[in-house]
Structure 1
């Protein structure tokens, strides 16, 4: 004999089981958000139901994601909680991409400076029609060079020094950068290292451009 007490799904109605399925993620997210607002404002279920003109059982179903609330219901709850209707959807997001790069496993990229003893490791890359192109690089300079390549491309760039010391050129200006220093600039202007003062030099360079 199977004990249904150990199987909570067995005691659920079909509609309740459907509410727990991944297809009901939106209802669950809305319900959690409404409950969070209510608890944060120290309002009981009964009080919120009364203020929104709902039954206690209906509000309970909404908070537990067991029903799809109408726009009228959401509007009534937003008024009672004094929050915008859109705030109920904050916890619901479509799948977003993430990239992890383990230490030392960045993708080595060949660029102008590669011939001058510069190593470029791409630490991640993602772009879509809804966001700018972002390319984070770990750049390592280990060899002195008399000639340094200048870069010029659309977008903006951010540099953060991790090790060493370098004189960095942006347009007609020179900047002396040491560990902990950062430089943020318009990358449409010519830029690049002017003098490698103390080797080895390592810095993060984050390039943000158009898709």
Structure 2
């Protein structure tokens, strides 16, 4: 156990969670484990994160903010703002794949989540959607980002296998499968690529905004 640190706050607790996940992406950090990593008693954390849900929520807030919600309110065209933030959030999640499940275990209700939701809604209403449809479109974008990140994180190769080798192995397996799958093996082998993500989110946006159909 590390020596006790005199000052403690939510950012330090979040960093401890991310450090634990960096050591073992498959780990499920507990309050007790985080406290041990910080060199404090578990009860000390309750002042800042009263339970596991609050701990996960703090990590979610940190990653939403790390992706830069300001992208959604910049001067770029509305589509670029949406896709820009989506790509940045997906990249932050895949840089910390162990944190992806935190986004799937509870609602995103913190200030950063509200800022992201507001930015997405503003972009879609700028595109011409009424507020209710803009809210639905904003939710669909987040579902696409989180679903893509979850599937890509689950498919990450081990440290002994390069991403390129993993794609080659998958392509070979698909090429040896049923004829319809074999015919699209090159595309299917890269289903967790950035290119596939961009294709998906752009088709989603096209479907949400009537003027683009």
TM class, shorter-chain normalised?
under 0.3
Indicate the structure with greater strand content.
Answer: 1
Bigger-Rg structure (1/2): 1
**TM-score, length of structure 1 as denominator length:** 0.26
Indicate the structure with greater helix content.
Answer: 2
